[in-house]
Amino acid sequence: MEWLQEFFSKLYHFEELIRWGGYLVLVIIIYAETGLLAGFFLPGDSLLVTAGLLAAVDNALNIWVLIPLLSAAAIVGDSTGYWIGYHFGPRLFNRTDSFFFHKDHLVRTQKFYDKYGPKTIVIARFVPIVRTFAPTVAGVGKMDYRKFLFYNVAGGILWIISMTLVGFILGRSIPNIEKKIHWVIAVVIFLSILPIIKEWFHSRKKPAA
C-alpha cells in the first residue's frame, strides 16, 4: 500500500517517477495505459519522451534496454485490451460510468475506428485516451486477431521507438535540456492532444441532424 501511495504521489513528476521506479514502473504504466480500461488517465507520450531523455543524459536508463522492454509492454497491453473487448463485448457499452471508466471514451473510440478501420490500432498509439480503448473496441468488433496482432506489433514498436528516440536525441543534442524538462513535457502533451482538439472542432462544425 505504501508503494502504491508513493507511486501516485510521483505519477506526474516524470523524472522523479522514473528515477524512483526505473524500468519496472515504466513497464507497468505502458502496459496498464494500453491494456486496461482504467489506465486511460496514465501518462504515455510525455513519459516515454522523458525516459528517452534521461537515457541520454545520465545512466538512469539504457535506451537499448528501454525500447524492446517497453515495446513488449505496449504489445502485450493492446492484446490484453483486445481480449477484454472480445470476451465482454457490448456489455462494456452498458456499464455505469465511474472514475476509472467512462462510456463516452468507448463511443469516441468507436467513431475513430469507424473512420480509420484497422489502421486505428496504429494511429491510436499516438492519441491519448483513444490508445487505451482502441484495442478493446477491436475486440468488441471481433476483428480477426491475426490482423489485429500485425497492427498491434507495428504500432507498438513505432510508438515506443519514436517517442523514446525523440527524448534521446534531444538529450544528446541540447546541453542541459534536463533542466528544462518541464517545457519538453508541455510541448509533447500539447502535440499529443492536437488530434483530439481537431476532432472536437470538426464535430462542432457538423450541422445538427
How confident is the prediction for the chain on average, in pLDDT? 83
CB-based burial, 40-67: b 16+ in 10 Å, e otherwise? bebbbbbbbbbbbbbbbbeeebebeebb
For residue 102, being part of any structural domain is answered with: yes
For residue 24, being part of any structural domain is answered with: no
For residue 38, being part of any structural domain is answered with: no
Distance CA(21)–CA(50), nearest Å, equals: 14
For residue 19, being part of any structural domain is answered with: no
For residue 8, being part of any structural domain is answered with: no
pLDDT grade, residue 197 (50/70/90)?
low
For residue 181, being part of any structural domain is answered with: yes
For residue 27, being part of any structural domain is answered with: no
State which residues form the domain around 165.
Answer: 45-71+85-203
pLDDT grade, residue 209 (50/70/90)?
very low
pLDDT grade, residue 148 (50/70/90)?
very high
Per the structure, the count of domains in the chain is 1
User: Is the pTM for the entire model greater than 0.85?
Assistant: no
For residue 20, being part of any structural domain is answered with: no
